[in-house]
Structure 1
Amino acid sequence: MHFSTVLFTAAAVCATTTSATCFKTGQHWGDHEPPHKALSSLCKDHTLNGHYKPHEAAYACRNSPDKGTSYTFQITNKNSIGVDVTQADCNNYIGDQIDSCGHGGKVTHSGVEYRGDPNKGPCGT
């Protein structure tokens, strides 16, 4: 392998670095189906997916069917360049927070932060 190939490979690996944090306190997701359904809709209708300018963020809140819990979802481009967030990225990275983090969490992948957080009470309270 040539030096330039090694350098390019190392740069590609660094460019896709991922770090994740699960929240330790707060509301639990409960049944995972309702937040996944809400997220799927938001990732499909371009509320959360699409082009993000440098440091741009999008936020959405949806109520659970029983109105006892709300789900907040946020995507933030922390890069100094624009990025495209696909429907799959939106569903996968925030969906992982629903499935892997009982109280919600956040993950940063390639400079884009994906956040899913269940909260007590309806949106706006």
Structure 2
Amino acid sequence: MTVQAFSFTKIEVKDIAVAEAFYTAALGLEVVGRVNFGEGERLMHEVILALPGSRPPAPNLIIISYPNAACPTPGEATTGFMVADLDAALARATAAGATIDIPATDVPEHGLRLAFILDPLGHRIELLQQIGA
């Protein structure tokens, strides 16, 4: 089997409302779907987020919560987003509750400028801006 396209990144969060508010406010993602399923410890809620105007099979960010079960420690995965203006993206993210984990750094050998932030729940996000070219 050959992978044809990246489909989604899924992160488990304790507070799905906080995560949804952050990713829509800080990164401008739009909610394109919701899934509620199961019961007891397997009760789950998902919010499916995508770039504005994207159409399947565009990749999604899925935030998932199991409200009746323990949540993994944040920081076990990193999600990456390309941005047009890294400084503006950092300002918008911090205004929405993010903290800067690694400040903006130029990586000219790769034509990139990057920074790492932590969302309000502690999940690591890499923001990348193409430079040069």
Normalization by structure 2: what TM-score?
Answer: 0.26
Higher strand share: 2
TM-score (norm 1): 0.27
Task: Report 1 or 2 for greater relative contact order, CA contacts < 8 Å, sequence distance ≥ 6.
Answer: 1
